[in-house]
Amino acid sequence: MPTESNFNSLFAFENMESNVRSYSRSFPVVFRKAVGALLEDEKGSIYIDFLSGAGVLNYGHNDPDLLNGAVHYLKSNGIVHGLDMATPAKREFMEHFHAIILRPRGLTYKFQFPGPTGANAVEAALKLARKATGRYNVISFTNGFHGVSLGALAVTGNRYYRDAAGLPPAGTVFMPYDAYFGAGMDTSEYLNKMLSDTSSGVDLPAAVILETVQGEGGINSASKDWLQSVERLCRKSGILLIIDDIQAGCGRTGSFFSFDFAGLSPDIVVLSKSLSGVGLPLSLLLLKPELDVWQPGEHNGTFRGNNLALVTATAALKKYWTDEKLSRAVVEMGRLMSKRLRQIVEGSHSLSMRGRGMMLGLDCSTGKLAEKIVRKAFEGGLVVERCGAEDQVIKLLPPLTIDEETLERGLDILDMSVHEASKLPS
């Protein structure tokens, strides 16, 4: 048991946990509590959270309304584990999701609950697309990140993760994401040409999978025109469009789905991360009814549709998505963040900013500079992580529910850290 003298000691983690651990290296304290946008370590130091569990905590830590529902459910002996047996928790979730999210958008989907992680859902989406079309090839995009299990890794671009696979990730062709070659070139034209030329060497794919804002890949956001153009060419060639909304969805860019602004109607949507609202693992596939070619139990898993997570997910839908309040706050806070970031990068040759809604990135040109800034920020009481091919982009993902004062304080720390890190020897 920790005593005051070894509070924040990383001894157990450094000696007992696998070398694979990562976040406890970036933030070398022991976190014991969290509320809203604030984390507290064992010594009582408070940190502002701009990491939000890598996009899991869009509604902040331990939202009391969502937790109360979970506590009540547990106390009433509600089914916690039921494989994929029918439960009131799952029924309520599907009915509310349909009424609150799908029906107002005119979208019709069936629900598939795979294992609880994002990668589980991506695996299921790829497998279903291949089964439904009878084709194997999948188009993914440069800098795309879709998880690290083997199927998901095959559509993930990052070299570091791909090298860890132990065998060649197969069945994918990578195409340039929007603005990969800069603003002057429309990469959807290139994709169109490669797919329409029967001698391009690219086999007709089962599906195209993409993030509308690439999170781990460096906060690269696709334009409305590009997304619509990709959707059109999918329709033209009978290719399924899979939107991976695991990180950009659940309100991160303003509306519930990150593709709402482009009016897309994807064949499959993948959700996870903030879906449960409190950090409980839950993932979901939304699939067009005609794609539901699964045989019963053909794709399974022990932990599908965790009931406790479904209870909190339903509570999150009821609390945050029955009106426009949260969406409006995201737009407003996103503007504030963008304004501050523009001030930070102003006049700098090495810094630039990008992103959409409250999913913003500060590109520092090099991983080294980004690392120094992030380290300084942590010393100043701000938890924020890096992304991009070289970890050169600082990814700002504060909870969507953060109050303006805390957001400004976090941005002040970031601003100060940029100045201090720039003074350090490289």
Tokens at 42, concatenated: 């064992």
Cα→Cα distances 368→375, 392, 424, Å: 11, 7, 11
Nearest distance, CB of residue 116 and ligand PLP, angstroms: 8
Q: Report the site for ligand PLP in 251-310 (rule: CB under 6 A).
A: 272
Taking residue 65's Cβ as centre, other Cβ atoms within 10 Å add up to 14
Among 117, 158, 327, 338, binds ligand PLP (CB under 6 A): 117
Among 244, 267, 385, 391, binds ligand PLP (CB under 6 A): 244
Residue span 167-206 as binding mask against ligand PLP, x where in contact by CB under 6 A, dash where not = ----------------------------------------
Farthest CA pair distance, the chain:
69
Check residue 215 for interaction with ligand PLP (CB under 6 A).
yes
Which of 416, 415, 405 has its CA nearest to residue 37? 405
Check residue 59 for interaction with ligand PLP (CB under 6 A).
no
Q: 212-249 burial, b for 16+ CB within 10 Å, e for fewer?
A: bbbbbbbbbbbbeebbbbbbebbeeeebbbbbbbbbbb
Size of the site for ligand PLP (CB under 6 A): 15
Residue 102, burial from CB neighbour count under 10 angstroms (0-12, 13-18, 19+)? middle
Matching residue, tokens 């946990």: 17
Region binding ligand PLP by CB under 6 A among candidate stretches 42-50, 242-250, 298-306, 399-407: 242-250
Which of 55, 11, 54, 7 has its CA nearest to residue 33? 7
Residue span 311-330 as binding mask against ligand PLP, x where in contact by CB under 6 A, dash where not = --------------------
Residue span 338-377 as binding mask against ligand PLP, x where in contact by CB under 6 A, dash where not = ----------------------------------------
Nearer of residues 124 and 233 to ligand PLP, judged by Cβ: 124
Region binding ligand PLP by CB under 6 A among candidate stretches 169-177, 244-252, 342-350, 386-394: 244-252
First to last CA, the chain: 40
Q: Which residues bind ligand PLP (CB under 6 A)?
A: 54, 117-119, 122, 145-147, 211, 215-216, 244, 246-247, 272
